[in-house]
Amino acid sequence: MLSDIEICRVSKLLPIAEVAQRAGLLDSEFHSQGLHKAKVSLKSLKRLAPKPTGKLVLVTAITPTPLGEGKTVTTIGLAQGLAKLNHSVMACIRQPSMGPVFGVKGGAAGGGYSQVAPMEELNLHLTGDIHAVTAAHNLAAAAIDARIYHEQRNGYQDFEQRSGLKALRIDSKRVVWKRVMDHNDRALRMVTIGRNEADKTINGFEREDGFDISAASELMAILALATDLKDLRARIGKIVVAYDLNGNPVTTEDLQVAGAMAVSMKEAIEPTLMQTLEGVPTLIHAGPFANIAHGNSSIIADNIATKLSEYTVTEGGFGSDMGFEKACNIKAQMSGKAPDCAVIVATLRGLKANSGLYDLKPGQPIPESLFECDQNALEAGFENLKWHINNVNKYGVPAVVAINRFPQDSEQELLALKAMIEALPHDVEVAISEGFAKGGEGTVELAQKVVQQTEKHVEFTPLYKFDQPTEEKLMAVAELGYGASSITLSDKAKAQLEEFKTHGYDNLAVCLAKTPLSISTIGSVKGAPSHFDVPVRELKLCAGAGFIYALCGNVMTMPGLPDKPAFMNLDLDENGDIVGLS
Amino acid sequence: MLSDIEICRVSKLLPIAEVAQRAGLLDSEFHSQGLHKAKVSLKSLKRLAPKPTGKLVLVTAITPTPLGEGKTVTTIGLAQGLAKLNHSVMACIRQPSMGPVFGVKGGAAGGGYSQVAPMEELNLHLTGDIHAVTAAHNLAAAAIDARIYHEQRNGYQDFEQRSGLKALRIDSKRVVWKRVMDHNDRALRMVTIGRNEADKTINGFEREDGFDISAASELMAILALATDLKDLRARIGKIVVAYDLNGNPVTTEDLQVAGAMAVSMKEAIEPTLMQTLEGVPTLIHAGPFANIAHGNSSIIADNIATKLSEYTVTEGGFGSDMGFEKACNIKAQMSGKAPDCAVIVATLRGLKANSGLYDLKPGQPIPESLFECDQNALEAGFENLKWHINNVNKYGVPAVVAINRFPQDSEQELLALKAMIEALPHDVEVAISEGFAKGGEGTVELAQKVVQQTEKHVEFTPLYKFDQPTEEKLMAVAELGYGASSITLSDKAKAQLEEFKTHGYDNLAVCLAKTPLSISTIGSVKGAPSHFDVPVRELKLCAGAGFIYALCGNVMTMPGLPDKPAFMNLDLDENGDIVGLS
Within a domain: residue A14?
no
Quick check: B576 and A194 CB within 8 A?
no
Among A455, A478, A507, residue at a domain's last position:
A455
**Residue B376 sits at the chain A interface (C-beta within 8 Å):** no
Distance of alpha carbon A16 from alpha carbon A32, whole angstroms: 7
Is residue B136 domain-shared with residue B78, that is, in the same domain? no
Same domain, A302 and A433: yes
Give the pLDDT confidence score for residue A307 in this predicted structure.
Answer: 98
Establish if B138 touches chain A: CB-CB under 8 angstroms.
Answer: yes
Claim to verify: residue B487 and residue B362 sit in the same structural domain: no
SS3 A228: coil
**Within a domain: B368:** yes
Q: Is residue B367 part of a domain?
A: yes
Annotated binding site of A for ATP: 65-72
Q: Is the peptide bond before A118 cis (omega within 30 degrees of 0)?
A: yes
The ipTM (two decimal places) reads 0.96
- Which CATH number does the domain housing residue A349 bear? 3.40.50.300
Q: Mind telling me how many Å the CA of B170 is from chain A's nearest CA?
A: 15
Together in a domain, B84 and B216 = no
Interface of B with A in 210-249 (CB under 8 A): 229-230, 233
Give me the tens of pLDDT residue by residue for chain B, a chain 582 residues long: 788 888 988 899 999 999 999 999 999 999 999 999 999 999 999 999 999 999 999 999 999 988 788 999 999 999 999 999 999 999 999 999 999 999 987 788 899 999 999 999 999 999 999 999 999 999 999 999 999 999 999 999 999 999 999 999 999 999 999 999 999 999 999 999 999 998 788 999 999 999 999 999 999 999 999 999 999 999 999 999 999 999 999 999 999 999 999 999 999 999 999 999 999 999 999 998 888 888 899 999 999 999 999 999 999 999 999 999 999 999 999 999 999 999 999 999 999 999 988 877 766 777 888 888 899 999 999 999 999 999 999 999 999 999 999 988 999 999 999 999 999 999 999 999 999 999 999 999 999 999 999 999 999 999 999 999 999 999 999 999 999 999 999 999 999 999 999 999 989 999 999 999 999 999 999 999 999 999 999 999 999 999 999 999 989 999 999 999 999 999 999 999 999 988
Regarding beta strands A571-572 and A547-552, do their DSSP bridges make them parallel or antiparallel, or are they unpaired?
A: unpaired
Q: Are residues B220 and B93 in the same domain?
A: no
Nearest CA in chain B to A159: B563
**Residue list for the binding site of B:** 65-72
The burial of A420, by beta-carbon neighbours within 10 Å (0-12 exposed, 13-18 middle, 19 or more buried), is given as middle
Q: CA-to-CA distance for A499 and A503, rounded, in angstroms? A: 6
- Across the interface, which of B188, B266, B564 has its CB nearest the CB of A163? B564
Residue B366 lies in a domain: yes
Q: Which domain holds residue B161?
A: 128-167+200-248
CA distances from A499 to A174, A549, A553, B518 (A): 13, 14, 22, 52
Residue B498 has a CB neighbour count (10 Å cut-off) of 9
Q: Is B518 on the interface with A (CB under 8 A)?
A: no
Per the CB < 8 A criterion, the answer to whether B125 and B329 are in contact is no
Instruction: Report the alpha-carbon distance of residue A235 to residue A219 in Å, rounded.
Output: 9
Residues of B in contact with A193 (CB under 8 A): 187-188, 191
In this predicted structure, what is the pLDDT of residue B363? 66
Question: Exposure string (b/e) for B441-478, b if CB count within 10 Å is 16 or more?
Answer: ebbbbbbbbbbebbeeebeeebbbebebebeebbbbbb
Is there a single domain that holds both residue A342 and residue A367?
Answer: yes
**Cβ B576–A229 below 8 Å, yes or no?**
yes
Q: What is the pTM of this model?
A: 0.97
- pLDDT computed for residue A66 by the predictor: 80
Residue B285 CA to residue A336 CA, distance in Å, equals: 45
Interchain pair B560, A34: CB under 8 A: no
CA atoms of B90 and B49, how far apart (whole Å): 17
The pLDDT score that the predictor gives to residue B371 is 84
Taking alpha carbons only, the member of A206, A558, A137 closest to residue B188 is A206
Q: Please tell me which of the candidates B35, B124, B197 has its beta carbon nearest to residue A263.
A: B124
Chain B residue closest to A34 (CA)?
B31
Pair (B316, B440) in one structural domain: yes
Are B561 and A264 in contact (CB < 8 Å)?
A: no
Nearest-by-CA chain B residue for A124:
B264
The sheet with strand A240-244 has its strands ordered as A170-175, A240-244, A249-251
Quickly count: other Cβ atoms within 10 Å of residue B557's Cβ: 22
Q: Which residue of B has its CA nearest to A38?
A: B34
Query: For residue A92, what are the β-bridge partners?
Result: A283, A314
> Sign of the CA dihedral B322, B325, B328, B333?
negative
The letter for the amino acid at B548 is I
> Residue B367: its pLDDT value, please?
82
- Cα–Cα distance, A225 to A334 (Å, whole number): 7
Residue among B128, B192, B578 minimizing CB distance to A195: B192
B577 within domain boundaries: no
Backbone region of residue A580 per phi and psi (left: phi > 0; alpha: psi in -120 to 50; beta: other values):
left
**Average pLDDT of each block of 10 consecutive residues along chain A (582 residues)?**
87 96 97 97 96 98 88 97 98 96 86 95 96 98 98 96 96 98 97 92 95 97 97 98 98 98 98 98 94 92 98 96 97 97 96 87 76 91 97 98 94 95 97 97 98 95 97 97 96 97 96 95 93 96 97 93 95 94 86
Nearest CA in chain A to B160: A563
Q: Among residues 251-270 of chain A, which lie with CB inside 8 Å of chain B?
A: 256-260, 262-264, 266-267
* HEC per residue, B345-413: EECHHHHHHCCCCCCCCCCCCCCHHHHCCCHHHHHHHHHHHHHHHHHHHHCCCCEEEEEECCCCCCHHH
CA distance A200 to A545: 38
pLDDT, residue A363, reads 66
Q: Which residues partner with B536 through β-bridges?
A: B489, B552
Distances (CA, A) of A461 to A311, A329, A332, A344, B298: 21, 9, 10, 18, 58
B222 part of a folded domain: yes
What CA–CA distance (Å, rounded) separates B52 from B308? 9
State how far residue B208 is from chain A, nearest Cα, in angstroms. 9
Strand partners, B281: B275
Provide DSSP, B533-548.
EEEEEEEEEETTTTEE
Determine the number of helices (DSSP H) and then strands (DSSP E) in chain B.
Answer: 21, 25
- For residue B235, being part of any structural domain is answered with yes
Same domain, A331 and A436: yes
Nearest CB to B183; choose among A142, A163, A564: A142
CA distance B49 to B53: 9
Cα A60 from Cα B110, distance rounded (Å): 50
Q: For A286, which DSSP code?
A: S
Is residue B33 within 8 A of residue B127, CB to CB? The reply is yes
Do B293 and B382 belong to one domain?
yes
Burial class (CB in 10 A: 0-12, 13-18, 19+), B159: buried
Contacts of B210 (CB under 8 A, 6+ apart): B178, B179, B188, B189, B190, B191, B558
Alpha-carbon distance of B391 to B60, in angstroms, equals 11
* A351 occurs within a structural domain: yes
Q: Check CB contact under 8 Å for B143 and A561.
A: yes
Beta bridge partners of A345: A61, A402
Under 8 Å between Cβ of B570 and B581 = yes
Residue A350 φ then ψ, to 5°: -70, -40
Q: How many CB pairs under 8 A join A and B?
A: 244
Q: Are residues A447 and A329 located together in one domain of the fold? A: yes
A567 closest CB neighbour out of B149, B185, B260: B260
A567 touching chain B per CB within 8 A: yes
CATH code of the domain containing A523: 3.10.410.10
Whether residues B165 and A561 touch (CB distance < 8 A) is answered with no
Measured between beta carbons, which residues in chain B are less than 8 angstroms from residue A31?
Answer: 34-35
3-state SS, residue B527? coil
Distance, in Å, from the CA atom of A183 to the CA atom of B440, rounded to the nearest integer, reads: 45
Cβ of B266 within 8 Å of Cβ of A578? The answer is yes
d(CA A218, CA A301): 18
What's the CA gap between A204 and A172, in Å, rounded? 11
Q: State how far the Cα of B279 lies from the Cα of B90, in Å rounded to an integer.
A: 10
Does the bond joining B118 to the residue before it have cis omega, within 30 degrees of 0? yes
> Of the candidates B165, B179, B188, which has its C-beta nearest A564's C-beta?
B165
In A, residues 92-111, which contact B (CB 8 Å cutoff)? 98, 102
Q: How many domains does chain A have?
A: 3
Cα A226 off chain centre by: 15
Report whether A317 contacts A325 (CB < 8 A): no
Chain B residue closest in CA terms to A194? B187
Please answer yes or no on whether B163 and A124 come within 8 Å at the CB atom: no
Q: Do B190 and A183 touch (CB under 8 A)?
A: no
Same-domain status, B295 and B237: no
Give how far Cα A391 sits from Cα of A21, A313, A387, B205, Å. 39, 20, 6, 42
Q: How far apart are CA A191 and CA A187, in angstroms?
A: 8
Q: 3-class DSSP state for residue A399?
A: strand
| Sequence-ordered list of residues with C-beta below 8 angstroms from that of A193, at least 6 positions apart, any chain | A145, A204, A206, A207, A209, B187, B188, B191
Q: Are residues A319 and A451 in the same domain?
A: yes
Tens of pLDDT, residues A33-92: 999 999 999 999 999 999 999 999 999 999 998 878 899 999 999 999 999 999 999 999
Residue B156, chain A, CB below 8 Å: the answer is: no
Q: Is the CB of residue B501 less than 8 Å away from at least one CB of chain A?
A: no
